[in-house]
Amino acid sequence: SCNYDNLAELHPEINCDPTSVSFAGDIVPIISGSCNSLAASCHGPGATKPLDTYAGVKVQVDEGKMLSSVTWDGNARQMPDGSSSKIDDCSISKLAQWIADGALNN
């Protein structure tokens, strides 16, 4: 890297608002991109623990595994599987807020 790199330009601030989170608008895109995409199809249709429907996601939430697995707190298997890093902090904040709000199908 160059000595004159500007950190603000290299790592722009992401506007993350986890105060009003919906399943369809916020949670589905997180899961689709991290859990059941073509690149990470561990939880896609036909998987042992599918996350391609609200019902499948809700099972993992109710068992306490959803948030635990993405925060890597040691109480569930770390996800995304095989990754060397967690999903981004904004996504974790949105998942946590959605779960705290009752994990509604909204």
Cβ(30)–Cβ(87) under 8 Å?
yes
- For the segment 56-105, what is each residue's pLDDT rounded down to a tens digit? 889 989 998 889 988 999 888 888 777 778 889 999 999 999 999 999 99
Of the chain, the end-to-end C-alpha distance in Å amounts to 44
**Rounded-to-integer distance, Cα 48 and Cα 45, Å:** 9
**Rounded-to-integer distance, Cα 66 and Cα 21, Å:** 16
**Rounded-to-integer distance, Cα 60 and Cα 67, Å:** 9
Q: Which of 17-26, 35-44, 46-55: highest mean pLDDT?
A: 17-26
When pLDDT is averaged across residues 5-21 and rounded to a whole number, the result is 66
When pLDDT is averaged across residues 38-65 and rounded to a whole number, the result is 74
Task: Provide the pLDDT confidence category of residue 41 given band limits of 50, 70 and 90.
Answer: low
Q: What is the mean pLDDT of the chain?
A: 79
* pTM (two decimals): 0.74
Residue at 9: amino acid letter? E
**Rounded-to-integer distance, Cα 73 and Cα 65, Å:** 10
With 70 as the cut, is the pLDDT of residue 43 above it?
no
